[in-house]
Amino acid sequence: MKIQVLGKGCVNCKKLKENVKLAIEELGISAEIEEVTDVDKIIEMGVLTTPGMAIDGVLKASGKGITKEQIIDIIKKG
């Protein structure tokens, strides 16, 4: 599984990355976390407001802070 954190490195983007780390630790799964900071790539993925999160290249959330619990739900739903 590859989880992409989409954003330019703002406070909310850093918090999202930390929440992703906590979620995968709690689930006990292996996942690659990639930070995508290239604006063109972020827009190409459909994000107009950061931060955003994609799993295996599929956008799952954008434009808001996502809690660890929400990330766990998103991962479980697939």
Overall size of the chain counted in residues: 78
Cross-strand pairs, 34: 4
Q: Which of 13, 47, 55, 71 is catalytic?
A: 13
Can 13 be counted among the known catalytic residues?
Answer: yes
Cross-strand pairs, 2: 32
Cross-strand pairs, 5: 35, 53
Can 10 be counted among the known catalytic residues?
Answer: yes
Q: Which of 1, 10, 43, 58 is catalytic?
A: 10
Q: Which residues are catalytic?
A: 10, 13
